[in-house]
């Protein structure tokens, strides 16, 4: 069967898609052959387990997850060549008439083929039956069943691969959670008004083998039902550093709306000075009920927490977030700030956003600043704060804290003075300054 065809009919990274397609194939077989029940089974040592079932509304005998002694099933006997794949009259067939399963499932006629994986091992079977005898079942019906079974076999192998990958990913995530294998990095945020440090954005790092970027870790955790535990681990690790930074510094923390609504975030912030927290909600995060999110955030905002909308300019959702959540800070996405000195459309959009922000008394923070020309342009636009590789790369606490004594020059050179060196960071001349 063509791999292109298989990848075309389902999403190979979606287990739900695989299950749905297999169910559809069972329904197709059952209806085409006039059967009452069609199922895919899995052989597990001495048991046969019904994995996926399609049946008419009147049948209550076969259910997903139920198991039978494998040696007493039609499926196993067909796989062992002890029973032909077509049984026209089960109650009069010399082999099947004495089998308990014939009466238990009320099998009258039966059609089945083994599911053999590419490695040669028998996974289970693809079968169908009805309650009365049917002498019209023929080789053409069997050929049709085999064709659908072959397609299903490739889907099942994809599903097995999917489950193994997810099993490994889940084990890795649980290991990170249980052993606190997370390292916090902090990226400096400078004010273009004072030219001094305003705060840091906290960022998670996972130095494991094989290496995966943070977004992959968080996406995997969400898909596997561990999103809240994983995100709270990151947030808890970040807020441990608040008191280690200067009192004038804030820490910016990313979160998802579902964890705001669940109460997990509020619980995490119970003993935290919220005046030193900026909570970032990304443009890529969908919010269904803005009223509920606003109500959940209100107690934290009443304690001084500020709200930032991330990725502004990257899509429509960020603008809706800004309007609906009454943000304190709007973060211009790197897709907007990159080459803003060269691309007029980006410049004009940023200018409009800056004007809008001033009108609603909101701070504009531009992220992803990588060149001097971008920074100069953003100064002219009246952007309030900046972050990016030009200003400072994400760094461990011991390196990031040195930015507290650094100053962003207001001259055209816009250099940062201070000493910061973590191997991958630039060295700067020391200049002791109080932080605003």
- CATH number where 295 lies: 3.20.20.450
**In angstroms, rounded to a whole number, what is the distance separating the alpha carbons of residues 308 and 291?**
17
Q: Are residues 214 and 77 part of one domain?
A: no
Q: What is the pLDDT of residue 318?
A: 64
CB 43 within 8 A of CB 127: no
Residue 419 has pLDDT above 70, yes or no: no
% pLDDT > 70, the chain: 88
Within a domain: 424:
no
Q: Are residues 197 and 161 part of one domain?
A: no
- CATH number where 11 lies: 3.30.450.40
Q: Are residues 184 and 158 part of one domain?
A: no
Least confident of 258-272, 295-309, 396-410: 396-410
**What pLDDT digit, counting tens, does each position of 108-146 carry?**
999 999 999 998 999 999 999 999 999 999 999 999 999
Query: Which one of 104, 132, 167 terminates a domain?
Result: 167
Which tops the pLDDT comparison, 242 or 414? 242
Within a domain: 430:
no
Q: What is the pLDDT of residue 45?
A: 85
**In angstroms, rounded to a whole number, what is the distance separating the alpha carbons of residues 258 and 225?**
12
Q: Are residues 212 and 83 part of one domain?
A: no
Q: What is the pLDDT of residue 408?
A: 81
Within a domain: 435:
no
Which tops the pLDDT comparison, 311 or 423? 311
Cα 193 off chain centre by: 38
Q: Are residues 268 and 155 part of one domain?
A: no
Within a domain: 299:
yes
Q: Are residues 368 and 226 part of one domain?
A: yes
Q: What is the pLDDT of residue 317?
A: 59
Q: Are residues 247 and 126 part of one domain?
A: no
Within a domain: 367:
yes
The 3-state secondary structure of the chain, one letter per residue: CCHHHHHHHCCCCCHHHHHHHHHHHHHHHHHHCCCCEEEEEEEECCEEEEEEEEECCCCCCCCCCCEEEHHHCHHHHHHCCCCCCEECCCCCCCCHHHCHHHHHCCCCEEEEEEEECCCCCEEEEEEEEECCCCCCCCHHHHHHHHHHHHHHHHHHHHHHHHHHHHHHHHHHHHHHHHHCCCEEEEEEEEECCCCEEEEEEEEEECCCCCCCCHHHHHHHHHHCCCHHHHHHHHHHHHHCCHHHCCCCCEEEEEECHHHHHHCHHHHHCCCCCHHHEEEEECCCCCCCCHHHHHHHHHHHHHCCCEEEEEEECCCHHHHHHHHHHCCCEEEECHHHHCCCCCCHHHHHHHHHHHHHHHHCCCEEEECCCCCHHHHHHHHHHCCCEECCCCCCCCEEHHHHHHHHHCEECCCCCCCEECCCCCCCCCCCCCCCCCCC
Domain range for 80 is 3-167
The tokens for 38 are 């069609």
Within a domain: 432:
no
The tokens for 297 are 């955030």
Query: Which one of 143, 167, 191 terminates a domain?
Result: 167
Please state whether beta strands 306-312 and 277-281 pair in parallel, antiparallel, or not at all (unpaired): parallel
**What pLDDT digit, counting tens, does each position of 92-114 carry?**
999 999 999 999 999 999 999 99
Query: Which one of 167, 202, 226 terminates a domain?
Result: 167
Q: At 113, phi and psi to the nearest 5?
A: -140, 145
Q: Are residues 199 and 127 part of one domain?
A: no
Q: Are residues 158 and 204 part of one domain?
A: no
**What pLDDT digit, counting tens, does each position of 188-243 carry?**
999 999 999 999 999 999 988 778 899 999 988 988 889 999 999 999 999 999 99
Residue 376 has pLDDT above 90, yes or no: yes
Mean pLDDT score across all residues of the chain = 86
Within a domain: 58:
yes
The total number of structural domains in the chain stands at 2
Q: What is the pLDDT of residue 62?
A: 87
Q: Are residues 187 and 146 part of one domain?
A: no
Q: Are residues 372 and 265 part of one domain?
A: yes
Within a domain: 426:
no
Q: Are residues 191 and 144 part of one domain?
A: no
């Amino acid at each position: 069967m063509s791999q292109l065809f298989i990848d075309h009919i389902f999403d190979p990274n979606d287990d739900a898609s695989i299950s749905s397609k297999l169910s559809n194939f069972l329904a197709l077989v059952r209806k085409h052959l006039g059967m009452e029940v069609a199922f895919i089974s899995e052989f597990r040592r001495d048991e046969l387990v019904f994995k996926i079932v399609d049946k008419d509304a009147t049948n209550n005998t076969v259910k997903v997850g139920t198991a039978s002694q494998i040696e007493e099933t039609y499926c196993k006997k067909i796989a062992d060549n002890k029973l032909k794949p077509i049984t026209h009259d089960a109650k009069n067939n010399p082999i099947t008439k004495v089998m308990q399963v014939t009466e238990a499932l009320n099998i009258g006629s039966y059609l089945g083929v083994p599911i053999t994986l590419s490695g040669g091992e028998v996974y289970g079977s693809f079968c169908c039956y009805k309650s009365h005898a049917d002498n019209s079942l023929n080789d053409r019906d069997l050929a049709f069943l085999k064709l659908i079974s072959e397609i299903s076999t490739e889907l099942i192998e994809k599903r097995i691969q999917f489950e193994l990958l997810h099993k490994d990913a889940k084990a890795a995530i649980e290991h990170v959670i249980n052993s606190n294998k997370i390292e916090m990095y902090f990226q400096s945020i400078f004010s273009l008004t004072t030219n001094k440090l305003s705060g840091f954005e906290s960022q998670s790092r996972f130095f494991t083998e094989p290496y995966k970027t943070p977004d992959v870790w968080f996406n995997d955790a969400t898909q596997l039902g561990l999103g809240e535990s994983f995100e709270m681990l990151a947030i808890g690790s970040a807020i441990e550093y608040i008191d280690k930074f200067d009192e004038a510094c804030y820490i910016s923390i990313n979160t998802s709306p579902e964890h705001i609504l669940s109460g997990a975030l509020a619980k995490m912030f119970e003993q935290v000075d919220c005046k030193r927290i900026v909570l970032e909600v990304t443009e890529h995060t969908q919010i269904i009920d803005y009223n509920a999110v606003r109500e959940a955030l209100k107690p934290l905002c009443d304690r001084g927490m500020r709200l930032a909308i991330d990725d502004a300019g990257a899509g429509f959702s960020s603008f809706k977030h800004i309007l609906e959540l009454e943000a304190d800070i709007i973060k211009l996405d790197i897709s907007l700030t990159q080459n803003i000195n060269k691309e007029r459309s980006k410049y004009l959009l940023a200018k409009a956003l800056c004007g809008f922000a001033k009108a609603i008394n909101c701070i504009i923070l531009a992220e992803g600043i990588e060149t001097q020309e971008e920074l100069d342009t953003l100064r002219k636009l009246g952007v309030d704060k900046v972050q990016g590789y030009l200003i400072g790369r994400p760094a461990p606490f011991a390196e990031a804290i040195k930015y507290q004594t650094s100053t962003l020059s207001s001259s055209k050179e816009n250099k940062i003075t201070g000493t910061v060196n973590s191997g991958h960071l630039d060295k700067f001349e020391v200049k002791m300054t109080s932080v605003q």
